Structure 1
Amino acid sequence: MDSCSPQNRSCIVDSFESTLRRSAELNVDIASNPERYRLISGERPTGSLHLGHYFGTIIERVRLQALGIETFVILADYQVIADRDAIRRVRENVYSAVIDYLAAGLDPHCSTIFTHSAVPELNQLMLPFLSLITEAELHRNPTVKAEHDASGRALSGLLLTYPVHQAADVLFCKGNLVPVGKDNLPHVELTRVIARRFNDRYGRVFPEPQALLTSAPEVPGIDGRKMSKSYGNAISLSMTADQTVKMIRKAPTDSERTITFDRANRPGISALLTTAALCLGRDEESLAAEVGNGGARALKELTATAVNEYFAGHRIRRNEIAADPGFVHGVVRAGNTRASEFARRTLDEVRRAMGTTY
């Protein structure tokens, strides 16, 4: 196997630490040579985007876009087929996500926002890519295992091949920069493996994309676990101020009155501190000292105020954009057209490399 196994804990630590070093080096080169890079990132539209998406990747996309990096953002609606409940609202979720992207600062003149299902050429990359990966490598992917365990259902072929779909999402536009959190590093590594194996077999076509760790690679939900729609612990970007207060008030805490930052032993308290710290641009320890003996109630009030003040402008912009659905639909259609043009060119190149042109 070309990459280290996710089952090897020391290998994961080494990979994370080396990625941190590479990310620092990348940021230096990006600032000087943004024209060298093409960014690709995105989400599965299984529900409303939340603070984990915002601090984990969205603000990083906006930052890199501002530096002049060509940016592609995919809404992987085909991947939602794996979730029987979420597919019912996929169209609504797609447009909701686009509204949040635009409200956060993604500029449709600079960034290509598109849907997976609208680019059939992208999916045609799946067959040659699947031939380059073993079943064992797919089973070892931590996201496949986590999603399978959470679903409580038999492992579908779509879910098993999810990492290869992600590789196609990245490589169809020859993306070479993928901003990710720690949990998604195995996906980028597998994409690099696929690109390398294709190039070795057929001749160089694809770059090996590099992972750029975001400034907030791990954003907890209000219960201390990873923020996730499936856990019901996420503060959505579409929430009103009142809904946000209500969500934070129900966050599980403990009976100890003195507030301290301790992820292992006080996950609920620590998650609230991290959320407030992200919004205030401060560190958790100083916030904990500030709340002191105020207890969980004071901490929840501080966190709710911090979130609502930080996202006040986002909500205003969001409401303005949502009031013009024709504009939002036009952004998606234009992005789909441009993404399709890239995918056709890449697929033609792949066919020439494989000798399947007729």
Structure 2
Amino acid sequence: MGEALADSTSDASLQRTVLRSEQISADLEVAPERYRMLTGDRPTGHLHLGHYFGSLRNRVALQDKGLDTWVLIADYQVITDRDSVGSLQERVFSLLTDYLAVGIDPARTTIFAHSQVPALNQLMLPFLSLVTDSELRRNPTVKAEQDATGGRPMTGLMLTYPVHQAADILFCKANVVPVGKDQLPHLEQTRVVARRFDERYGRAGDASRPVFPPPDALLSEVPNLLGTDGQKMSKSRGNVIELRMSADETAKAIKKAVTDADRHIGYDPVARPEVSNLVLLAALTTGRDPHAVADEIGDGGSGALKALVTEAVNEHLAPVRARRAELAADPGHLRQVLATGDARANEVAEQTLAQVREAMQMVYG
């Protein structure tokens, strides 16, 4: 298969990625029209504060800079590791409602669902011929899934998950993908697929016009928010604050949040992770420094801390929740938004698939 998949976590590779990301960030301020960004979520549950501070706010900020923004609702990827997908339709529209409520604008952002774009998924076939079984099994997500199965056989769709992600990014020729450092192996796999396709097929041997320009990572610092139980935030653990929750539901969730026995409130994520998590949440929702938040509470104890966090979170999310309620009351509008985004994605995917067929000399009519 030519060169081996690069270790995107090596020091040298990571340094190059960081430098390139910094260059792109600077260029976005002066020439955002040069970039098409793709990002998205699997509709496995309802979006929560971890999603909001980890990615949603950043998507809106990048959209507002003027990037050509694409957001994928990865419904096909829900079935990679599940026997039953449950109320998938309800979760897809809940995801869409959250997107619009936080400020993702369908007039400036293409929002589409995986399963509604056949040409995107058809790219999986040629892309799978460009990777090896061992490369796929080395992917961190695939390895984690394999380790978590307890001996249960992994599905073929789960094994090919990295290639599906490559198709997501390459079908619309996104040239930037917002990721954390832990997601770099996925993007590196996409870059390898793009490079190998052009080496094998290309545009009639013209290396200056690749079919798939390799995308770059746009690294972002994600706040390390824990769940209300002090563990990793997870929908399955029930330790999250969902964007769709009411103010009362939010207050109840925060009231149950784990703290510690020290009445004096400080910000020390290593020594006091649970207390520091609540302090950080108050800081993020008020735009303040977490140390200043902790100093303000001082000896007020966990009661004062939780009261502050509850007020800050509910005040910050009030306009989002009001907008969400309006959107949820108009399902016809939601369906139209998704239909418009799907149509745009299909148009682009068909163009890309036509270029792939031409490069592979599979045009017969």
Q: Same fold (TM over 0.5)?
A: yes
Q: 2:321 aligns with which of 315, 330, 333?
A: 315
1:180 Cα offset (Å): 2.1
Deviates more, 1:77-86 or 1:128-137: 77-86
For 1:107, the equivalent position in structure 2 comes to 105
Q: Is the 8 A contact 1:220 1:271 kept in 2?
A: yes
Q: Residue 71 of structure 2: SS of its match in structure 1?
A: strand
Residue type at the aligned position of 1:229: K
Letter in 2 for 1:65: Q
1:3 paired residue number? 6
Alpha carbons of 1:190 and 1:273: their partners in 2 closer, same or farther (altered >3 Å)? farther
Provide closer, same or farther for how the CA distance between residues 268 and 327 of structure 1 changes in structure 2, counting only shifts above 3 A.
Answer: same
Deviations 1:208-246 (A, max 9, x none): 111112343644333344422133222111111111111
Structure 1 residues 320 and 142, CA, compared in 2 at 3 Å: closer, same or farther? Answer: same
Unaligned runs of 5+ in 2: 203-209
The 1:140–1:115 alpha-carbon spacing in structure 2 relative to 1, beyond 3 Å, is: same
Residues 223, 271 of structure 1: 8 Å contact kept:
no
CA RMSD of aligned residues (A): 2.0
- Contact 2:233/2:240, CA 8 A, preserved across alignment: yes
Q: Does 1:249 align with 2:262?
A: no
Q: How does 1:246-285 map to 2 (within 5 A)?
A: 246-285=252-291
Deviations 1:187-213 (A, max 9, x none): 122211211221222112112111112
2:26 to 19, 25, 28: 28
Which residue of 2 is the match for residue 220 of structure 1? 226
In the alignment, does 2:234 pair up with 1:231? no
Partner of residue 164, structure 1 = 163
Change (3 A) 1:260 1:17: farther
Partner of 2:140: 142
What pairs with 1:1-358 in structure 2 (closer than 5 Å)? 1-4=4-7, 11=10, 15-16=13-14, 18-84=16-82, 87-150=85-148, 152=150, 153-203=152-202, 204-216=210-222, 218-358=224-364
Determine helix, strand or coil for the equivalent of 1:165.
helix
TM-score by length of 2: 0.90
More deviation in 85-94 or 234-243? 85-94
Relative distance call for 1:20 and 1:303 in structure 2 (3 A) is farther
CA distance in 2, matches of 1:68, 1:212: 15
CA distance 1:145–1:244, change in 2 (3 Å): farther
Query: Following the alignment from structure 2 to structure 1, what is the Cα–Cα distance between the partners of residues 224 and 182?
Result: 8
**Bigger CA drift: 136-145 or 120-129?**
136-145
Q: Distance in 1 between matches of 2:49 and 2:313?
A: 9
TM-score (norm 1): 0.92
Runs (5+) with no aligned partner, structure 1: none
Distance (Å, rounded) in 2 between the aligned partners of 1:85 and 1:284: 42
**More divergent stretch after superposition (308-317 vs 18-27):** 18-27
Provide the rounded CA distance (Å) in 2 between the counterparts of 1:142 and 1:178: 18
Shift of 1:86: 6.4
Distance in 1, Cα, partners of 2:170 & 2:353 = 10
Code of the aligned partner of 2:258: P
3-state DSSP of counterpart to 2:212: coil
State the Cα distance separating 1:16 from its structure 2 match. Answer: 5.0
Distance change in 2, residues 1:48/1:208 (3 Å): same
Q: Does the C-alpha gap of structure 1 residues 18 and 273 become closer, same or farther in structure 2, counting only changes over 3 Å?
A: farther
Q: Distance in 2 between matches of 1:160 and 1:27?
A: 33
Which deviations, in whole Å up to 9, do the C-alpha atoms of 1:50-81 show, x marking residues without a partner?
A: 11221222122211211221111110000111
Mapped to 2, the partners of 1:155 and 1:221 lie a distance apart of 29
